[in-house]
Amino acid sequence: MDLVLVNLIDGLVTGLLLFMLSAGLTLIFSMMGVLNFAHASFYMLGAYFAYQISTYMGFWMGLLIAPIIVGIAGAGIERYGLRKVHQYGHVPELIFTFGLALLIEEVVQFIWGKSQMPYEPPEILQFTLFSISGNAIPAYKVFMIFVSIAIFLALLYVLTRTRVGMVIQAALSYPKTVEALGHNVPLVFMGVFGVGTALAGLAGVIAGPVLGTFPGMAFLLGSIVFVTIVIGGLGSLWGALVASLLIGWITTFAASYNVAMADVLIALGFEQPVDLSESAWRDLWSLTLPQIGPILPYLLMVLILVFRPYGLFGKRDV
């Protein structure tokens, strides 16, 4: 039972982190119809910028400044890169963001090198907040949870309760009409892109110290973020939240419970072959849950696409 609680907290941290990335991605997608392949690269940039700033001005300034820089960089890329490619259609846009992801990874390696950066949580949060039957829960994890929830609430407030949010929502469905009413829709697009990338940057700032700040971090998370928004339903903020938490918990629980496939198969009434190394099914028999944990999100995505193509909460058919 205690282990369940610890896993629930760990999964919550992973899930909320995923949500910070997927929220921006899904907003950008529903607005411009372009999937930003480089979204996780902005997350990586956030971590690296924050590390660089923290060496001069400490963690908190990094937390404040790095997302802003990432957001400005994102808005600039939208203005001078993506908008240029937009005229060629969606597929070249996707290819552009893919190239951007490659380029950002190379640039990061060029500036900071290939090794992991010694980016640490601030001293103030380096203590054990409480422990559940011997499993220490560091204060930083709780801090991460609070930051993510605060971001989610702020996003929800801005999108549903403010004038800017109304314009954004209107621009999502009827960009032409909103433009005719006198709003600068390209500016709104640029703003959303900037805020979305800034959110990814913020996720990088707070995740960097825990998950490690290294050039492969974008690649590790990148495809999972895509899976998340497909499962949640493209363009749905609630879907992104639910799918993020789902994936966070699935991967965490799968990693910590060592259920062997052999036990399951025996329980189902199959007989274990005497000589496993000769059997064609030897891989099936030797499987364990932690082994297949990392592929579960992809499996879930394929199943969702086959049986419910518009995702859990999505309205439009993918």
Partner 1 sequence: MSDTASNNGTAQRGGSRLGAATPWIVSIVILAIIPFVFTSNSAITIMNQMAITIVFALAYNMLLGQGGMLSFGHAVYMGVGGFMCVHIMNYVEDYSLPLPLPVLPLFGGLFGLGLATIVGSFSTRKAGTVFAMISLGVGELIAACSVIIVAFFGGEEGVSGDRTYGLPFFGIEFLHQIEVYYLIAFWLLLSALLMFLYSRTPIGRMANAVRDNPERAEFLGYSARWVRFFSFCASGFFAGIAGGLFAINYEILTEENLNLVQSGSILLITFLGGVGYFFGPIIGAVVFTLLQTVLSLETELWQLYVGALFVATVMYFPGGLAGILMMHMPAIRMGKAGLLVMPYIKTVLPAIIGTLGLAALIETIFHIRHAATGDEEMTLFWTTFNSHSVLPWLVMILVTVTGYWLTRRNLPELRRAWHEANTIDGSPS
Residues lying near partner 1 in the complex (CB under 8 A): 29, 33-35, 81, 84-85, 88, 90-92, 94-96, 98-100, 102-103, 105-107, 109-111, 113, 219, 223, 226-227, 230, 280, 282-283, 287, 291-292, 294-295, 298-299, 301-302, 305-306, 309, 317-318
Q: Minimum Å distance from CB 86 to partner 1? A: 11
Rounded Cα gap, residues 311 and 294, in angstroms = 20
Check: CB of residue 233 under 8 Å from CB of residue 313: yes
Q: Minimum Å distance from CB 90 to partner 1? A: 5
CA-closest candidate to residue 163, choices 146, 131, 188: 188
Q: Minimum Å distance from CB 78 to partner 1? A: 13
Nearest to partner 1 of 271, 317 (CB atom) = 317
Helix%, strand%, coil% for the chain, nearest 5 = 75, 5, 20
Nearest to partner 1 of 282, 315 (CB atom) = 282
Which residues, other chains included, contact 59 with Cβ-Cβ below 8 Å and sequence gap of 6+?
A: 50, 121, 122
CA 24 to chain centre: 9
Nearest to partner 1 of 99, 175 (CB atom) = 99
Q: Minimum Å distance from CB 177 to partner 1? A: 23
Q: Minimum Å distance from CB 34 to partner 1? A: 8
Nearest to partner 1 of 58, 216 (CB atom) = 216
Check: CB of residue 63 under 8 Å from CB of residue 205: yes
Q: Minimum Å distance from CB 272 to partner 1? A: 16
Amino acid letter for position 59: F
Complete DSSP assignment for 214-278: -TTHHHHHHHHHHHHHHHH-TT-HHHHHHHHHHHHHHHHHHHH---BHHHHHHHTTPPPPS-GGG
Q: Minimum Å distance from CB 111 to partner 1? A: 7
Nearest to partner 1 of 231, 245 (CB atom) = 231
Nearest to partner 1 of 100, 195 (CB atom) = 100
Nearest to partner 1 of 166, 284 (CB atom) = 284
The b/e string for 86-115 (b: 16+ C-beta within 10 A; e otherwise) is beeeeeebeebbeebbeebbeebeeebeee
